[in-house]
Amino acid sequence: MGYRGKVELQEQARVLRARGKTLAQIADALGVAKSSVSLWVRDVPFTPSPRRHGPHRRPNPAHEAKLRQIEELNREGRERIRTLSSGEFLVVGVALYAGEGAKGDGAVNFANTDPAMIRLFCAWLRRYFEIDESRLRVRVYLHKGLDLAAAEAFWSDVTGVPLAQFRQAHRAVPDATIRHNKHERGCAYVYYCCAKTHRQIMGLIRALLSSEAIPG
């Protein structure tokens, strides 16, 4: 399945979650892993579907209207984006790195908790730059108490980087005063230690942000 297919599955999962479906129900409906669903819908407000006490229980009109709007706007978004051209995909990746990537000279470094973002970045990096796969590295930041082996296997699948090329994980100590919701698979850092590649990316970023590139 390509990147676009993954995005569509993610959108469907978010709509189902907004409807009050459980993670297991969404995973069964879409034929994906429950762990993937958990990551895709983590920021979707969840209200369990009410138990019906009779056949005539009426849905909440405002909630139903919101779900219809979400579905319609998702369809509209897909129609507007469609399949990216090569030039469009190049610009998308440049903008993504401009917002989320490391700017210090010497190495490419991109981090995110969203597997769709990491997958897009890795596809973009491989497509537009000469990458030596053996030099790619991934490091996982994960709270203690969560399953590191499962997290690393998950990010290896997302990035296409073998586990043998993973750096030692960082295990964060949970602090209840800071946050209560923890990402089940943590945050993945993708590294590529090549100064030339990083400088190529930064050149593209400077071109994108220049006044000449902005439509009048």
Domains of the chain: 3-81 (no CATH), 86-213 (3.30.1330)
For residues 199 and 156, give the distance between their C-alpha atoms in angstroms, rounded to a whole number: 26
Q: Residue 24: its pLDDT value, please?
A: 87
pLDDT tier, 98 (very low <50, low <70, confident <90, very high otherwise): very high
Give the model confidence (pLDDT) of 163-183 as tens digits. 999 999 998 886 655 544 567
Residue where the block lists tokens 């469609």: 82
- Measured CA distances, 197 to 14, 86, 104, 164, 192 (Å): 35, 19, 12, 23, 8
Q: H helices of 19-159, where?
A: 23-30, 34-40, 61-81, 86-100, 115-128, 148-159
CA nearest 17: which of 5, 135, 172, 39?
Answer: 39
Q: Residue 113: its pLDDT value, please?
A: 92
Give the model confidence (pLDDT) of 124-142 as tens digits. 999 999 999 999 999 999 9
Give the model confidence (pLDDT) of 203-214 as tens digits. 999 999 987 777
Provide the whole-model pTM.
0.69
For residues 24 and 150, give the distance between their C-alpha atoms in angstroms, rounded to a whole number: 18
Between the two ends of the chain, the Cα-to-Cα distance in Å is 38
- Measured CA distances, 204 to 94, 95, 174 (Å): 7, 9, 38
Query: What mean pLDDT comes out for the span 39-56?
Result: 67
Burial of 210 (0-12, 13-18, 19+ CB in 10 A): exposed
Q: Residue 50: its pLDDT value, please?
A: 57
For residues 15 and 41, give the distance between their C-alpha atoms in angstroms, rounded to a whole number: 9
Q: Which of 14-18, 72-76, 92-96 has the highest mean pLDDT?
A: 92-96
Least confident segment among 38-42, 43-47, 114-118: 43-47
User: Does residue 71 carry a pLDDT above 60?
Assistant: yes
For residues 111 and 97, give the distance between their C-alpha atoms in angstroms, rounded to a whole number: 10
Least confident segment among 12-21, 92-101, 121-130: 12-21
Q: What residues have CB less than 8 Å from 143, skipping those under 6 apart?
A: 171, 172, 173, 174, 182, 186
Q: Three-state SS for 24?
A: helix
User: What tokens were used for 162?
Assistant: 């073998």
